[in-house]
Amino acid sequence: MLERAVDKFRGKVQNVLEQLNMKYANFVIKGKEVTPGIDQLRTIIQDLTKHGQAPTPVSQLAKLKSAIKTPEFTQLYLSVSLMPNLTFDLISEAGKEFDKANKELLAMTGKAD
C-alpha cells in the first residue's frame, strides 16, 4: 500500500515537472508590457528550482533574450544587446524602465489605455 502511494506521488511530481519544463521551453511574453512576462518566467524558474530542475543561468538569460526578441520589444532587445556583461536581472530592470517609458510616451501622445 505504501509502495502504491509512493508511485502515485512520483507520478504527480513527474507530471508537474513535465508541465513546468514545457512552460519553460515554450515561454513567450504576451501583451504590451514586458515586466509581467519576466515575472512569469521568474516564477517558472523558481518552480523548476524547487523541484531540483533549475535551468542554468546561461539558459535563463538565453530564454529571456529570446522572449524579448519580438516586434513589440525591438527597442528593448536592441538596448540590452548592447549591454556588456548582461544578466537576467539587468534585463529585468531594463524591462521595468522600458514599460515605464512606454507608458509615459503613450500618455504624452494621448494614446494611453
pLDDT confidence of residue 12: 76
**Residue closest to 42 by CA, chosen among 63, 66, 19, 70:** 63
Q: What is the mean pLDDT of residues 12-18?
A: 85
Distance (Å, whole) CA 68 – CA 30: 10
- pLDDT for residue 110: 80
The predicted-structure confidence for 27-75, as pLDDT tens digits, reads as follows 999 989 999 999 999 999 999 999 999 999 999 999 999 999 999 999 9
Number of domains in the chain: 1
pLDDT at position 103: 93
| Domain carrying residue 70 | 2-109
**Sequential DSSP letters for 57-76:** HHHHHHHHHHHT-SGGGHHH
